[in-house]
Structure 1
Amino acid sequence: MAFVCNLGKCSITSAELKGAVTGLRLAWDKGYRRVHLNLDSTTAVGIIMNNAEDDHRHGIIAKEFNYLLSLDWDVRVSHVYREANFAADFLAAKGHLVDFGTHLFNVYDPELEHWLLHDIMGIPHDRLIINTI
């Protein structure tokens, strides 16, 4: 199963946190009880692991993480570099192409499967960064 979200305009950290919460909710609802959540944002990992206060700008979503992590399951949260998470990058890019909201996929997209295999096997892949200035 996979999902993409079009969140409209928001910060990168907000997008990372909202995507992670959505993924955890889906995993819980589907009955998964051992989950490894990989995030490429050290800021997002810090907010989740350090239980941000209510008055923090991400406090509401941090409270949701606190609730989800308190459920009866094993969730490991860790930071991974972008280069080890191409499948997430692929899905994030797809999120810009869909209507507002969350969209679930029950069958792997062949391109997604390609990037998942890269991630699982640790195959390096160069990124092309285009300077638009």
Structure 2
Amino acid sequence: MHAPTTELLKEIYEGLKVFDVPVYTRLPSETVLEPFFVIGEHQDEDMSAKINLAVTRTELKIDLFYPYRDRAEIEDLTHNVKSVLSQKRKAVTSNIIYDDSIGREVFHVVFYVNTII
């Protein structure tokens, strides 16, 4: 039996596979070209003491690095990723930014997946 967060990570990973974009758990080397996802850190808040149930609120960060091309293209992809990630009672926020911190110009989309497990 896996922890609920492990199950959430597996579900997220499977959902992202529909985009045919590599998924990593840490930022790959600068030789790896975009697009790619990075499933990052998560934060949990144990709510059990307040409501007498085993409930945890979790926030998971997912980054998408995408070639700096057409803005409409990244807007469409962001919308589609949010649709996949928000299934099963998950709230998803996103932020699209220009980023050149990896040595080239890319769109960097930061997704925050919030759910109660």
Q: TM-score, normalised by structure 1?
A: 0.26
| Structure ranking higher in helix proportion | 1
| Structure ranking higher in strand proportion | 2
Q: TM-score, normalised by structure 2?
A: 0.29
More RCO (CA 8 Å, sep 6+)? 1
